Structures are given as structure tokens and as C-alpha cells.
Structure 1
Amino acid sequence: MLEIFLSLNWISVISAFFAYFFLGYVWFTVFFKKLYRVSLGKENEKEQPLTMIFVVGPGICTLVILITTAILFSALHIHQTVDALKWGVFIGIGYLSANTFTIAINPNIPKPILYGLISSAYHLVGINIASFLLIQNF
């Protein structure tokens, strides 16, 4: 496992990280800002400024997701775009979306289905962009 980790194409991992992370920023602050606030029951509350935990935390989690995906791709010898995108869909639905809905379905999320749809769609798009970038040879 260590040799796979050390042999990763770190330029691809970092480019995938920036794409996925930037997509999250745009997704939740531009594309779905209002709907996301509705899903959280915060549509009538004053918007609070982002603190570091809300920037750094998701960044660390995204990096862990991408390193794990890159290791998986390496172990499975995923080098073709079509294969990377198939696995991106599989990971996006099977792990990221399923986990997102699991988190959403609790009494603290007033509109869990809306929250799950917005966040799951983000992860499905994000992991597929990242999957494409992970197999590139920069």
C-alpha cells in the first residue's frame, strides 16, 4: 500500500483536488446557494461569514477522498477515461451519495431529501471531474 501511495501522480491528485474543491465553492455559494439554505432551514436567517473550519474541513475531506480514489485507481489499473468515469459514477453513487443521504436523514436537517439531492449531485459531478483528472499524465 505504501508503494502505491508513493507512486501516485501527485500533480493529478492536486489538480483533481483544486477542481473538486472549487466546484464545491461554486456549487454551494452560486449555483444552489438559496436551495441549500432552504434545505438547512436557514433561508430566513442572516448569512454568517465562513470560518476556517468550514473551508479547511471540507478541503481535508476532499483530499482524503481523492487520495483514496487515486489509490483505488492504481490498484485496479484504471488508466482509460471511460473506466475512470464508470468508477467515478460507482464511487459517487455507491459511497459519496449514499453517505450524504445517510447524514442528511436525521432530525437536524429540516429538508433531508433536498439536502441529499443538492449535496449528492455535487459529489457525483465532483468525483467524476476528479476521476477524469486523476488518470491524466500531467
Structure 2
Amino acid sequence: MFSVLADINWLAVLIAAVASFLIAGAWFGAVIAKPYAVALGREGAPAPASTPVSTFGPLVCILVTLLTSAVLVEALDITGTGDAIVFGLLVGVGYLSAMTFQIAINPNFPRPLYYGVLNAPYFVITGVLSSVTLVLMR
């Protein structure tokens, strides 16, 4: 399966990563900024200062996720847009959203289910868009 690394369109991975990063900025910075603060128990508190890890860490995570998806797209020989959408939904719902809920269900998140509900759409949307990008640029 790892012989597919040579077949991956790295430009597609980069484009999908940048798009996902920009969507994250819009989603978390504007669309759900206030509800997100509530989910984290930080409503009314100033936003934490940006650090290199909080700024670039998500991009690294996005790249790892996209590389994994690109390997699976190649290994599973996904070539059609419909199959790309299904694959993106599987990744977005079955892995990313489920993990978001799992991570949030601990005492450090005051509203874990709310946190998961706010995050899940981002992962589903970017999972589908990224998968379609990877397949269309194969």
C-alpha cells in the first residue's frame, strides 16, 4: 500500500491543505467564534495569545490527515467524484468528527457535546472537499 506514495499528487494535497486551513480560519474565527468560546467555557474571556504551535500546529495536522487520505484514495483506487464524496463523508464523520467528540468527552471540556457539534461540520465539509480535490487532481 505504501508504494502509492509516488502516485500521490502533492499539489492536490497542498491545495486541499491550504483550503482546509483557510476554511478553519473562517469557521472558527468568524462563523462559530462566540459559540466556540461558550463550548470551551471562555465566554467573555479574552482570546488566548497566538503561538507558533496554535497557529501552525493545525496546518501540520491537516497535512498529516490529507496525506493519509491521499494514500487511501490511491490504495483504494477512488476515481469517481461520487466515491470521493462518500470517502470524504467516511473520513469526516467516521474518523474526524468521532475523534472530536471522543477528545472532548473529558473533564477539561465544560460542554463536550456542544464542542463536538460545533466542530463536526468543519471536519465533514473539509473531509468531502479535500477528498474531491484529491480525486479530481489524481
Q: Distance between the aligned counterparts of 1:137 and 1:95, measured in 2?
A: 23
5 Å-filtered alignment, 1:1-138, equals 1-137=1-137
Deviation at 1:137, TM superposition (A): 2.5
How far is 1:35 from its partner?
0.5
| Structure 1 residue 105: Cα displacement | 0.6
Q: CA deviation at 1:80?
A: 0.8
Q: CA deviation at 1:2?
A: 4.0
Write the letter of the residue equivalent to 1:118: L
Deviation at 1:3, TM superposition (A): 2.6
Q: Structure 1-normalised TM-score?
A: 0.95
List structure 1 runs of 4+ shifted beyond 2 angstroms. Answer: none
The count of corresponding residues between Structure 1 and Structure 2 is 138
Q: CA deviation at 1:41?
A: 0.3
* Distance in 1, Cα, partners of 2:18 & 2:74: 20
TM-score by length of 2: 0.95
Alpha-carbon distance, 1:53 to partner: 0.6
Mapped partners of 1:135, 1:91: distance in 2? 14
Aligned residue identity for 1:35: P
SS at match of 1:128: helix
On the 8 A contact 2:28/2:36 being kept in 1, the answer is yes
State the identity %: 38
* Amino acid in structure 1 at the alignment position of 2:26: V
Q: CA RMSD in A?
A: 1.2
Long gaps (5+) in structure 1: none
Structure 1 residue 57, shift from structure 2 partner: 1.0
